[in-house]
Amino acid sequence: MTDEPAVPAPASTPAPAQAVPPNPPSGLSVSRPLALGVAGLAAVGVLSSALLWLKLSTIQEHLARQSAESTAQALEARTLARQASDAAREAAARQAVMETRLSEVALQRTQLEELMQSLSRSRDENLVVDIDSALRLAQQQAQLTGSVQPLLAALKTADQRLLRAAQPRLNPLQRAIARDIERVKAATVTDTLNLLTRIDELTRMVEDLPLANAVGPAMAAPPAARPPSPGSAPAWWVGLMERMGDETRKLVRVGRVERPEAALLSPEQSFFLRENLKLRLLNARLALLGRQVEPARADLATAGEALSRYFDASSRRTQAAVTLLQQLQSQARTMELPRVDETLAALATAAAGR
């Protein structure tokens, strides 16, 4: 392009043409417009080339600018892509953390719901549970103390709480408590201390009770010696015969034996029999102290069988011991505390109907 402006050089050729002989006027008039035309074309070409060069330069600058902008945009896009990748990884990590926290929250929510369900029992259900616990505790206290007062107090308290609640659903429970209150009030419980004292008295009587194989009571005293009548035997002879008769009667004793095992007891067996009877009475005493009525009644029954089998039933001491033992057995039957099974059954029904 730098060579194109040299085209107008032929226009300077007129200098050597001065040495050429002048052409005819017609030739000169023709070359002048041609030269002007060529010069105009050359000027137009130069101008076009300049314009084209300027346009190309503008295009190059524009392309360079676009290329720079594209490069910058590519770098920016690469940076943004890197940032987006980092943000995606961070978002994934946060999502994982959030999912973990969400699972923990779900677990805590489940546990909280279970806790709320356990704590959201109605007032009636809590009342039923409280009354049941109080009655069972009162039963244990009554068993330990031998008194119906703890049981009666627990029943009255339960009745008052039901009256304050005023729930129709609990009316059967209230009626059962009222019946059990009447039953407990009407029950008679034996005085344990008096019963134990009488068992100790019977234990002391065992040592002096006569056995069935013991020798009978002394013979009646012989009648007073009658004064000798005239012609009768001498007095010393009569007294001697009477003493000999008494000794003979003592050597032989005739009686009816209803229980051979009682008649065959040796002195050593008799000692162990009395000790065994004392142990039975002691076991009955300990059972009554522990509020175990059935074992106590069994031991008293065994002691009664031993009294009637091995001891002399005709003796007043034996009869008194048998009478006392029968009284103890009768009192032991009344030591059983009244039960509140009807109330407990009504409580179970009320608890099952929730």
Q: What does residue 37 show for φ and ψ, rounded to 5 degrees?
A: -65, -45
171, pLDDT greater than 60: yes
What's the rounded mean pLDDT across residues 310-328?
86
Q: What is the mean pLDDT of residues 34-44?
A: 83
Q: Which of 172-176, 203-207, 252-256, 348-352 has the lowest mean pLDDT?
A: 252-256
131 burial (CB, 10 Å; 0-12 / 13-18 / 19+) is buried
pLDDT greater than 60 at residue 14: no
Q: What digits encode the pLDDT tens for the residues 260-287?
A: 555 556 677 778 888 998 999 899 888 8
| Beta-carbon contacts of residue 302 (< 8 Å; ≥ 6 apart) | 280
On whether the CB atoms of residues 317 and 209 are closer than 8 A, the answer is yes
Is the pLDDT reported for residue 22 higher than 60?
no
* C-alpha–C-alpha distance, residues 11 and 35, integer Å: 7
Domain boundaries defined on the chain:
4-10+36-114, 124-189+340-352, 190-215+259-336
Q: What is the pLDDT of residue 93?
A: 92
pLDDT digits (tens, 9 = 90+) for 213-242: 665 544 444 444 455 555 445 567 777 777
- What is the reported pLDDT for 6? 43
Share of the chain above pLDDT 70, in %: 75
| pLDDT of residue 212 exceeding 70 | yes
Least-confidence region, from 16-30, 50-64, 142-156, 231-245 = 16-30
Q: Which two tokens stand for residue 218?
A: 């002394």
The CA-CA-CA angle for residues 171, 176, 182, to 5°, reads: 130
Q: What is the mean pLDDT of residues 23-43?
A: 70
Q: In the chain, what's the furthest Cα-to-Cα distance?
A: 250
Name the CA dihedral angle for 164, 167, 170, 172, rounded to a multiple of 10 degrees. Answer: 100
- Measure the CA–CA gap between 32 and 342, rounded to whole angstroms: 148
Cβ contact 172:349 at 8 Å: yes
- β-partners of residue 320 are none
Give residue 2's pLDDT.
42
pLDDT at 221: 44
- Our measurement of the distance from residue 342's CA atom to the centroid of its chain's CA atoms, rounded to an integer in Å, reads 26
**With bands split at pLDDT 50, 70 and 90, how would you rate the model's confidence at 52?**
confident
Q: Kindly report the average pLDDT of the chain as a whole number.
A: 77
Token pair, residue 249, equals 């009667």
In angstroms, the CA 347 to CA 165 distance is 15
Taking the C-alpha atoms of residue 301 and residue 308, their distance in angstroms, rounded to an integer, is 11
- Res. 252 pLDDT band, cuts 50 70 90: low
What is the rounded end-to-end Cα distance, in angstroms, of the chain?
Answer: 108
3-state DSSP call for residue 311?
strand
**Is residue 156 pLDDT above 70, yes or no?**
yes
The answer to which of 67-76, 86-95, 104-113, 240-249 has the lowest mean pLDDT is 240-249
Is residue 110 scored above 50 in pLDDT?
yes
How much is the average pLDDT of 135-158? 84
3 state SS for 87-130: HHHHHHHHHHHHHHHHHHHHHHHHHHHHHHHHHCCCHHHHHHHH
**SS3 per residue for 207-228:** HHCCECCCCCCCCCCCCCCCCC
CB atoms within 10 A of CB 274: 18
Gap between the Cα atoms of 112 and 114, Å rounded: 5
Q: Which two tokens stand for residue 94?
A: 């946060």
Q: Band the pLDDT of 353: cuts 50, 70, 90.
A: low
Q: Give residue 9's pLDDT.
A: 43
Is the separation of the CB atoms in 317 and 210 below 8 Å? yes
DSSP string, 68-79: HHHHHHHHHHHH
List residues bridging with 311 in a β-sheet: 211
The pLDDT-based confidence of 327 (bands split at 50, 70, 90) is: confident
The yes-or-no verdict on residue 20 having pLDDT over 60 is no
> Is residue 1 over pLDDT 50?
no
Query: How far apart are alpha carbons 121 and 36 in whole angstroms?
Result: 119
Q: Looking at per-residue confidence, does 137 or 122 come out higher?
A: 137
Distance, in Å, from the CA atom of 313 to the CA atom of 170, rounded to the nearest integer, reads: 60
- Length of the chain measured in residues: 354
Mean pLDDT on 130-159: 85
Average pLDDT over every residue of 19-43? 66
Percent of the chain with pLDDT over 90: 5
Rounded CA separation 105/309 (Å): 81
The more confidently predicted of residues 16 and 102 is 102
